[in-house]
Amino acid sequence: MALGPIELEAWSWERAEVRQALRARDIGAVFRYVQRYSGASQARIATAVELSQGRVNEIINGRREVKDLEVYERIADGLRMPDDARHILGLAAGREKRAGGVAFDLAAFPEVVRVYSSQASARAEIRQHAAAAEELDVLAVRGLGLIGLNDSLLREYCLPRDQGGRGLRVRVLLLDPESPATVRRAAEIGESAESLASGIRLAEARLRELSGDVQVYRYRQLPTWRIIRLDGTMFTGAFDAGWEGHESATYKVMETPHGPFCRGFRRMFEALLDGAERTV
């Protein structure tokens, strides 16, 4: 009888070491965790992911790497990866019907047009949108990698036009360095509260140097979403205990007439803005 996909308990995919392996695209480590948590042999894994046992052995022992998207897809399908695991790996959500219900289907939600394994993977596309945009909204913790430093992802586009920039209308929401949420967030990422607060204040100071239409605000809630909005296009990622927003899967979301995601993220941004303290 033909063997189907390998089914792991949901908690297996939620373990920090498994998620780290997925983010690093370390399939050898993923296979080793599958062996540990399911008891599957190399031969069983090979059958599930449609690879030879010899190739699975080479991957597990670090003698071969997986590079082809089609192979990643076969591995994700063969291991029945849940959608959040697929996203961390840089793949679109599954289209099959899972035991928990109908899987998230990109065809049903055309707003989500692409999923990147991290913000770094989306860098070129973010900058491409920034080069043509008129408005920029940023929701971050400290924003140094996005806009706070000279070599930040988006800073050059925020300069006035007479300085070679785009002259964007910019609104930035940063975590209040004096809030309890800063202390909690620092503990989550293994950083001192003083260091995190100093980074936020540095970002504010550097944003204050930008002339033009730049507004900076402090919010006091524990960060959950990281947002870059460039006109009608958003790049979003999630903050979680153990990693920062730029390390998580990054979703490219396009504004559509009836889609819930852009509308929801914009509504959340405006609500945070209403309760925030303006500092710049």
Using the Cα atoms of residue 175, residue 177, residue 183 and residue 188 in order, give the sign of their dihedral: positive
CATH of the domain at 70: 1.10.260
Write the DSSP symbol of residue 248. Answer: S
Beta strand 214-219 with 169-175: parallel, antiparallel or unpaired? Answer: parallel
Residues 95 and 220 in one domain: no
User: Residue 46: which region, alpha, beta or left (left: phi > 0; alpha: psi -120 to 50)?
Assistant: alpha
SS3 sequence of 166-210: CCCEEEEEEECCCCHHHHHHHHHCCCCHHHHHHHHHHHHHHHHCC
235 is a domain residue: yes
CATH of the domain at 192: 3.30.870.10
**What is the domain count for the chain?**
2
Could you list the pLDDT tens digit for every one of the 280 residues in the chain? 457 889 888 888 888 888 889 888 999 999 999 999 999 999 999 999 999 999 999 999 999 999 888 899 999 999 999 887 888 888 877 754 444 444 444 454 568 878 888 888 889 999 999 988 999 999 999 988 888 788 888 888 888 777 777 778 999 999 999 999 999 999 988 899 999 999 999 999 999 988 778 999 999 999 999 999 999 899 999 888 777 777 788 889 888 776 788 889 999 999 999 999 999 9
Residues 84 and 138 in one domain: no
Residues 133 and 85 in one domain: no
* Cα distance between the two ends of the chain: 67
Residues 21 and 79 in one domain: yes
Range of the domain at 74: 10-99
pTM for this entry: 0.63
